[in-house]
Structure 1
Amino acid sequence: MKNIAKLSLFIIFLASLLVLWTISNPVLAQAMVLRENASNQCIKTSRIKINSINPTPETNPLGAYYPGFRGNNQLVIYTPGFGEYTNTNEFGKEAIVLEDKVFGFCGSNCYIPKNGFIVSGHGSAKKWINERLMEGAIVKINQNTMMLESTITPESYLYKAGQRINDSKKVIVDYKRTLPGYQSKISENYLNQAIQKYNEARYILDKSQYEAGRDLSNMALKMADMSFYYAVPAVQNELHGVWLRPIEKNQAEIVKTLDRLRRTGIDNIFLETYYQGYTIFPSSTMATYGIKQQRPEFEGWDPLQVWVNEAHKRNMKVQVWFQTFYVGNENISRNSKHTLSVYPEWANFQRKNADSNKPMPSISEHNGYFLDPANPNVQKFLTALLTEITTNYNVDGLNIDYIRYPKSLSQNFSGYLDTTWGYTAFARAEFKAQYGKDPVELELSDPLMSKWVAYRQDKVTDFVSRLRSIVGDKNIMISTVIFPGHQDTATTKLQNWSVWAQRGYVDAFTPLIMSSDKYMAGNSVREIRSLAGNNVCILSGLFEPFTAGSPADLIGQIASVRSEGSSGIILFDNAHISDDFIEALSARILRKD
């Protein structure tokens, strides 16, 4: 009996150790909580480690050279103490939390609410946000353990459905008041069904029938979504575009893609034609310069010609999406035909690597390499490539992307100067010849610093000024990809786009609006319009598909940018436009009929 008692105590001891070990293991702890709560009123609780709260380069060194100081696979919390916005890029996901409840989501650079905080994730942390958070989820931060806890209850689903019902009601009321002849019958039919299911769900939840209540809430949400999709009317003569990196291997696949997009009302394909330093078509310019003539996956045929031909058959246009100063992130030492393998002197250099004898990538820009806008041979090469395209193909537009320097930190952060770009042998020599000082020697307080900033801005502007002569008298629209937030963009990316509008160098701006916040989207268009005047049209670039957002949020963004004078929208990007987005867009908002 004593042996049995000892054995029992030993088993209890081992079980205790197992419990302690499991709790200390976040993955198993999360699994235990989910199993326990699966039978407890349909509650789902999840936890994840917080990497940093209000990160800085010093407190979060792994994120020091990334936008918002959020590193790879990190989950970061931003409170009002960080600033007004998170300053993150489009490769993450952010949840807006008000009073410990998820209010909504944002793709990047979220506004940080005064009475809340932002949960921001990249990589695996982004995946966690997508899978473990929703509107109405309860979120708690434990700063002692640096853990974030999310709890989704049946009421969370009801909360989300209620939000969408209110959104649809508001839109219908607004259009009835402001748009003569507005048709709302279909939208209101869906809305009435949503309200009915919502009330049923609330009643069932009050009876503690949680699973049935959750299911009814989801039905209410679906009806409310449909109401919202049909509430926002189409606008005539509005450009509807999509950025598209081609993966189609033949004419039949191109036709299939075009037909799918055309059904939604999309009429402009912004076709990635020159990207990561290679063309999709067999280029004589590339061959002349000794660079690989065509992307290897397209060798043996000319996809650009097929895209143009098939698009025009469908009354769709093809805009050439062109990565100007960005040449990709492959290991250039393994490719003797890469642009920077053939012309290493064309590479852009960061100040901290100014004396390096080999090209260095930008950590914060996909570990990618950039060309030097100041180098006249770079501009000559790119001019020749664009001339070849506009001469040999009946394209409808040029969409000039990466028309800037690589991003640096903002001036108010320590270490700013070391993160700035443009310190190439050519630029340093030319600037010194003009102003008597090597820019590497400049400090922020130096009177010549403003000259150095303007020098690099002007080099980008010089290339933009060439575009009219490249196009000539052809009916080709010239647009440039820009970033909202002009003051920051002009210093961190050296993209002084307001000058391009004032001087009439371009026809349109395609701003990258990476936030899911419809108000921020509208504000971005308003800012651009205030600086550009009516000299350019604004084609708002919306990232909701790319950031795994919701179709309803995309519809809200489109309505918002329209109200601020956007002449069209471009979706980023085709690869992420799921059937849910197709359903939403084809309901009413982009229809031409």
Structure 2
Amino acid sequence: MKKSSKKVNLFIISALVLALIITGFPIQQQTSAALAQDLVKAANGETHVIFDYNRLRGADQIIVYTPEFGASTKNNRWGVEVVVEDGMITEVRDGTVVDLSNAPIPENGFVVSAHGTARTWVMANLKEGDTVEILEDVITDPVRTSTFSINKIDPQAPYEFPGGRGADELVVYTSSYGKERTGTNQYGAEFIVRNGIVVEMSGSNSLIPEDGFVVSGHGAAQRWILENTQVGAEVTFDPNTMKITSRIDASAYIRAAELVIEKASAQIEAAETNFLDVPIEEAKSSLNEAAESLRMAEEAFGKEDWQRTIDYSELAAQQANKAGFQTVESKVVDARGVWHRPTESNREDIIETLDKLADSNFNILFLETFFHGYTIYPSEIAEQNPNFVGWNPLEVFIEEGKKRGIEVHAWVHTFFVGHESLNPPGPILTEHPEWAAVDREGRIPSVKEVGYYYLNPALPAVRDHLSSIFNEMISTHDVDGLHLDYIRYPVSLPIENGYSYDEYSRNEFKKVSGVDPLDITPADTELWEAWNVWRQNQISSFVERIHGEVKEVDESLELSTAVFPEVSDAIDQKFQNWVEWVSAGYMDFITPMIYAVDTNYVQRTTNSFLDRFQQPVLSYIGLAPFVGFSDELLVDQVKAMTETDAAGQVQFALHSLRAEHFEALKAGPQRKKAFLPHADPMHAAKLLVKDIKRKIADIYIPRDGVDHPAIRALEQKFRNLERAVGKGEISEVNGKILEAQDFIKDREKHIRPAVSEHLLKDLDQMEQLMDFAEFKQQ
């Protein structure tokens, strides 16, 4: 059986509002429009298409989980999971009837997990005690054709929804639309067609080609896109009948591979032209391998061998993608993090995990140390997670991490302490039910975050208890930092779902305002704003407290947090005022969770997030491979982050990273080892200036990026900068940075534009490091 997805360059993700046990974020989907499909075959002969392997389950999907994924599926209860050992069904776990979730994955088998319509099929055909098979690469028909109704073509304002695309609608945008992009939001799927061929699967707000069109779908239309289109497919539409048709055969895979090869060739050419610090010859070699595989695919197509056509086309796409990855620069000062919920059972397992991270040059691990009210280590204050009783995995992670140059930060779920699918309400609220956060209707757990139990952030006893756990954690373990997650109220809009309307909070607010918050609504503008600010202050004051306590234990310990990037979400709905925390200097670095498939959206949101900073706090952007990123999309988003002022990125989460992800990162943006910016900004600056000098000597001068009259002076500017960094005086370093910047701008006739851009960008990073170093000294 295959153990991970083989789909190559056929990728699309869309938002589905489906609560996750781990994140609370919506699952998003990739396309399943494959000619050759894998099937689950029941004992009665009935079959169903497998959507994919080893990724979180979405709506109406069958996902198969193998031991490669981990110890369990990590899915919520809203589906059915069938445990298979040695080809025999040993358990059917219908979570919609009995509260079952997160099925264990047997070492000698797999789990079939299904939701919605797929669940209906499973319940009808897979029975405990029956046999079940996985059939791979089944081609039931050499041509797949599908037609769907169009709701709108080139809709015009005013719009009820972004881009004029409403619920369950399929919209076609042509060059007559009058706008450069579709204007849609991320809650759907799109594809771009040129000359009748799908050239790109997109997420939202797609660029509309002059020689083609964009198709955008939401809901049912989105599902049609995901299930019936892919890169290379033929797509036509008829404005008279308002119908659109997709056609997929083996030639679609050849066309898809050709597009990837074309893109990689352009990337190699651009890398050479723009003086990029990348292994050009290795990229060319990978591209040559792709061309040979494509030739084999075309030969197989001529013989009507559809399976070999698909296999060689996919191999060609993989090789061409690798060539593209090899044209991505790798920084020497960069945060490369990953969030991880531990499932390891011994030291050997931990070594295996950390070796995998070290091999791909990750340098920071956010280890989930306190979640669902349990610690992973033996605690004098909290209950230890039953999965780790008898040993201390945190201690081992720290010890082995130091050997590999990987920082370990204790990632803690602050006010979220239980889920209805996992021993509800958890150990803390079982012992202290009076500590629970209560919504306006008096309900526990959350309605908007289905099944989530939260502590009341305002209660002194809650704050003291969490403080004691965190202080114990950082005092008894040599962690590199404390990473606060769920440092917020539960989602509190609309008003009837708002928090926190317990007796204590109501009385405390009444003391300062004279009114009971139950008696006010958003119509009471000033009082409602005061109530919102009061709730924000409960979170912010706790952050301030933890900051002080962390620094009292060890000034070098880093305090960081995972936050929602958009103020309308973080502050207005969850009272998570990270803007205030950054301004007050409570955070050493911050990780906004910018979870989307649309790379343009991720980049725009990153820039908007950073624009709100009033202190030079470093930001490591949280990315979302857990929703099903392809290796190509992952590298695209990491690369996009290097084009912003972000100091690095963090992947959510380790269990979602497959072998192809690690290989892609290692071939591209994580090819070199990197130093963490926050660890020692002055040392980071030393490494950075040394690397700049290397690029000048090995790339820019030999490739004629700098004219002879400017060479000696340019080299001298960076020698001066290196000496200043060696002295460790921030003001002197800043002076030399300014001198180098001015020189580069003044010598624009003698320095190629691309080289100037690289040098100025590196100097901007050094300036950021100096600002952070000064901030740390305050």
Corresponding letter in the other structure for 1:273: T
Instruction: Name the structure with the higher helix share.
Output: 1
Of stretches 270-279 and 432-441 in structure 1, the one that deviates more from structure 2 is 432-441
Q: CA deviation at 1:206?
A: 8.8
- Residues 559, 349 of structure 1: alpha-carbon distance in 2 compared, 3 angstrom cutoff: same
Q: CA deviation at 1:506?
A: 0.1
Corresponding letter in the other structure for 2:191: V
- 2:250 maps to which residue? 154
- Residues 276, 200 of structure 1: alpha-carbon distance in 2 compared, 3 angstrom cutoff: same
Mapped contact 2:372–2:426 kept (Cα < 8 A) = no
SS at match of 1:231: coil
SS at match of 1:487: helix
- Residues 43, 417 of structure 1: alpha-carbon distance in 2 compared, 3 angstrom cutoff: same
For 1:79 and 1:379, the matched residues in 2 are separated by: 50
Q: CA deviation at 1:80?
A: 10
Q: CA deviation at 1:228?
A: 1.8
Mapped contact 1:507–1:535 kept (Cα < 8 A) = no
Corresponding letter in the other structure for 1:401: D
- 1:310 maps to which residue? 400
Q: Matches of residues 181-580 of structure 1 in structure 2 within 5 Å?
A: 181-195=277-291, 197-198=293-294, 213-286=309-382, 293-330=383-420, 338-351=427-440, 353=441, 356=442, 360-409=444-493, 416-447=494-525, 448-472=527-551, 473-533=554-614, 535-544=616-625, 546-580=626-660
For 1:141 and 1:284, the matched residues in 2 are separated by: 67
SS at match of 1:328: strand
SS at match of 2:416: coil
For 2:575 and 2:456, the matched residues in 1 are separated by: 12
- Residues 179, 501 of structure 1: alpha-carbon distance in 2 compared, 3 angstrom cutoff: farther
Q: CA deviation at 1:336?
A: 8.8
For 2:335 and 2:250, the matched residues in 1 are separated by: 41
Q: CA deviation at 1:363?
A: 3.6
1:592 pairs, out of 632, 648, 672, with: 672
Q: Deviation per CA, 1:90-137, whole angstroms, max 9, x where unpaired? A: xxxx6323469583255xxx558885324569xxx99x9877654345
Q: CA deviation at 1:482?
A: 1.0
Corresponding letter in the other structure for 2:143: I
Corresponding letter in the other structure for 1:406: P
Q: Does 1:96 align with 2:175?
A: no
Corresponding letter in the other structure for 1:555: V
Q: CA deviation at 1:279?
A: 0.6
For 2:313 and 2:538, the matched residues in 1 are separated by: 56
- 1:10 maps to which residue? none
For 1:156 and 1:130, the matched residues in 2 are separated by: 15
Q: CA deviation at 1:510?
A: 0.9
For 1:337 and 1:199, the matched residues in 2 are separated by: 58
SS at match of 1:265: coil
Corresponding letter in the other structure for 1:318: V
Identify unmatched segments of 5+ residues in structure 2: 1-116, 122-137, 150-165, 174-181, 209-213, 674-778
Q: Deviation per CA, 1:541-577, whole angstroms, max 9, x where unpaired? A: 1112x11220111001000011102211211111121
Q: Percent identity?
A: 29
For 2:390 and 2:168, the matched residues in 1 are separated by: 47
Q: CA deviation at 1:349?
A: 1.9
- 1:61 maps to which residue? none
For 1:459 and 1:215, the matched residues in 2 are separated by: 57
Q: CA deviation at 1:273?
A: 0.1
Q: CA deviation at 1:481?
A: 0.3
Corresponding letter in the other structure for 2:444: M
SS at match of 2:326: helix
Of stretches 202-211 and 214-223 in structure 1, the one that deviates more from structure 2 is 202-211
Mapped contact 1:95–1:102 kept (Cα < 8 A) = no
- Residues 489, 175 of structure 1: alpha-carbon distance in 2 compared, 3 angstrom cutoff: farther
Aligned residues: 501
- Residues 276, 489 of structure 1: alpha-carbon distance in 2 compared, 3 angstrom cutoff: same
For 2:414 and 2:571, the matched residues in 1 are separated by: 17
Q: Deviation per CA, 1:410-450, whole angstroms, max 9, x where unpaired? A: xxxxxx21132222222211112211222222222212111
SS at match of 2:384: coil
- Residues 231, 531 of structure 1: alpha-carbon distance in 2 compared, 3 angstrom cutoff: same
Q: Deviation per CA, 1:472-499, whole angstroms, max 9, x where unpaired? A: 2332111110112223322122212111
TM-score (norm 2): 0.58
For 1:360 and 1:149, the matched residues in 2 are separated by: 48
Q: CA deviation at 1:592?
A: 2.7
- Residues 105, 180 of structure 1: alpha-carbon distance in 2 compared, 3 angstrom cutoff: closer
**RMSD between superposed Cα atoms in Å:** 3.8
Q: CA deviation at 1:275?
A: 0.5
For 1:335 and 1:367, the matched residues in 2 are separated by: 9
Q: Deviation per CA, 1:304-354, whole angstroms, max 9, x where unpaired? A: 11111111122211011111110121379x779721122222211222x2x
Q: Deviation per CA, 1:389-422, whole angstroms, max 9, x where unpaired? A: 111110001111111122244xxxxxx2113222
Which has the bigger relative contact order, CA under 8 A and spacing at least 6?
A: 1
Corresponding letter in the other structure for 2:591: T
- 1:583 maps to which residue? 663
SS at match of 1:103: strand
Q: Does 1:44 align with 2:144?
A: yes
Mapped contact 1:373–1:460 kept (Cα < 8 A) = yes
Q: Deviation per CA, 1:132-155, whole angstroms, max 9, x where unpaired? A: 65434578999xxxx999753334
Mapped contact 2:185–2:205 kept (Cα < 8 A) = yes
Mapped contact 1:96–1:102 kept (Cα < 8 A) = no
SS at match of 1:555: helix
Mapped contact 1:397–1:479 kept (Cα < 8 A) = yes
